[in-house]
Structure 1
Amino acid sequence: MRLLRIIAAALLVVVAALAGPAPARAGGWATTLLDPLPAKIAPGVAYTIGFWVLQHGSHPFWGENLGEVALLVTDDTGRTVTYQGSRLPEPGHFAAAVVFERAGTWEITSSQGVFGDYPLGKATVPGGFRALPVPPEYADIKIDYTHWKTIRPPGPAPLPKAVPVAAAETTPAPRGGSWGAALIGGAVLVAAAGALILTRRRPRRT
């Protein structure tokens, strides 16, 4: 029984290694883009901020009920204020009236209804807004502008340019990490099977 458990565990290792992590784009997800904000943001002033919730980063929501959409503003103490979004005529376009109550650094997050929250960037008050770039796994997605006319989503914030650095001397990692794990699991499986065969062939003592 013990050897059978070892074999079962080895099989699980092999299956997990071959399956690998689930792709980031599986299932429903969305991104949010902000309309241009003022160059200078002051405390205590109401700003109407437009934003676009794009399903799969490229088109408006295709379902029946997106749910409540809002902008979440969090100060440097961790306190969050929710500003509900109002639907605008353009598909996927919303607006929220936002006030940065005092000077400081504020994180802005989009609450995307059924899609969950999406971080947008930080506002320095007084000062300006610094948008986060689109996550690398979404960088190759193009917006399908056929859904809109003159008023349309802006382009996403670009990824920061990579700064070349001197390569450190390291031992190159073997290619195909998941295959390496699979080979290890296979070796364990073979060893366990061999031990089981030897145990069955060993004569019983009388």
Structure 2
Amino acid sequence: MALGAMAMMFALTLPAHAQTRAGGWATTELDPLPDKLVPGKAYTIGYWVLQHGTHPFDVAGNELGSTGLRLTGADGKTLDFLGTALSEPAHYAVTIKVPAGEWRVQGVQGIFMPYDIGTMNIPGGLTLAPPQFVIGVGTEVVDYWGSIKPPGFPWDGTVTSSQPPAPPATVAQPADAPQQPVTAPAAPTAPKTAATASGGGGWSSPYLLVVTAVLAVGATLLVQRVVQARVQPGQTETGSREGAAEEAADAISIGRE
């Protein structure tokens, strides 16, 4: 029972990225490729990393992390190509240069697990793998992209609203207005956690509960071992105490004699 309680407490204290890996998923969709890919030539490929297959990453308080393409050859050789974010949400570009051969292509998706895209033959083209996740027909989706959209949008779903990315706000100033000095904004003060304020050395309260539970179980097991070691086989604890008292009395009488 104690070990089960510890496991539940530990599951509740997993970092946010671990919970995201366990309960979230994403897909990588490629923009159209050239008809034929040849070895040793550089190609720039656009791709989209879509959480749940339909929208940009939106886990509050977290960052998606690095994305790109991973190619694995039949001999186990791996080629990783790091992508660069484009102006559209969830849209990236990567430049690849691949030797001849057959390569398994995966999308590297930051905190999400890699996504199997298909098999690339050089020279040749890309054969897509079956979808790992099925998006139901009639799913309600939001258009985040404006004129440039991911392939297949709206994925047999119903568009409920449009949210194109807003351009950055700029303030026009008169030509004769004096230039204002540019100052860096003050860095916000990070709030202290309860553990830090109390001198806990960075331990958060959930982890402290886990450590306390581990120590409690360890202490209980240690006490049981000590008690078992003091009680001889076939004796009760009371019997061992009585035997010790009799031995002490015999020693005293022998001393008197």
TM-score by length of 2: 0.48
Measured in 1, the distance between the counterparts of 2:70 and 2:81 equals 6
Q: Kindly provide the CA deviation profile for residues 115-144 of structure 1, in whole angstroms up to 9, marking residues without a partner as x.
A: 120110011111111111313x42426583
Q: Is the 2:69–2:106 contact (alpha carbons within 8 Å) kept by the matching residues of 1?
A: yes
Aligned twin of 1:48? 44
Aligned twin of 1:106? 103
Q: Return closer, same or farther for 1:145/1:35 CA change in 2, 3 Å cut-off.
A: farther
Aligned-residue offset at 1:74: 1.1
Measured in 2, the distance between the counterparts of 1:133 and 1:140 equals 15
Q: How does 1:77-88 map to 2 (within 5 A)?
A: 77-88=75-86
Q: Is the 2:53–2:135 contact (alpha carbons within 8 Å) kept by the matching residues of 1?
A: no
1:41 is aligned with what amino acid?
A: L
Q: Which runs of 5+ in 2 are unaligned?
A: 1-21, 156-257
Q: Return closer, same or farther for 1:115/1:35 CA change in 2, 3 Å cut-off.
A: same
Aligned twin of 1:153? 150
Percentage of identical aligned residues: 45
**Per chain length, whose mean CA-contact separation is higher, i.e. which structure has more relative contact order (CA < 8 Å, sep 6+)?**
1
Measured in 2, the distance between the counterparts of 1:68 and 1:88 equals 13
Measured in 2, the distance between the counterparts of 1:81 and 1:128 equals 17
Q: Kindly provide the CA deviation profile for residues 69-116 of structure 1, in whole angstroms up to 9, marking residues without a partner as x.
A: 111011121110110010000000011111112x21111101100112
Measured in 1, the distance between the counterparts of 2:94 and 2:75 equals 23
Q: What is the RMSD of the two structures over their aligned residues, measured on CA atoms?
A: 2.2
Measured in 1, the distance between the counterparts of 2:98 and 2:140 equals 30
Measured in 2, the distance between the counterparts of 1:55 and 1:100 equals 28
Total equivalences in the alignment: 131
Query: Which of 6, 27, 34 is 2:23 aligned to?
Result: 27
Aligned twin of 2:124? 127
Q: Which runs of 5+ in 1 are unaligned?
A: 1-25, 159-206
Q: How does 1:1-206 map to 2 (within 5 A)?
A: 27-63=23-59, 64-101=62-99, 103-135=100-132, 137-140=133-136, 142=139, 144=141, 146-155=143-152
Q: Return closer, same or farther for 1:108/1:119 CA change in 2, 3 Å cut-off.
A: same
Q: Return closer, same or farther for 1:94/1:143 CA change in 2, 3 Å cut-off.
A: farther
| 4+ runs deviating over 4 angstroms | none
- Computing the radius of gyration over CA atoms, which structure comes out larger, 1 or 2? 2
Aligned twin of 1:22? none
Q: Kindly provide the CA deviation profile for residues 145-174 of structure 1, in whole angstroms up to 9, marking residues without a partner as x.
A: 511111110028x9xxxxxxxxxxxxxxxx
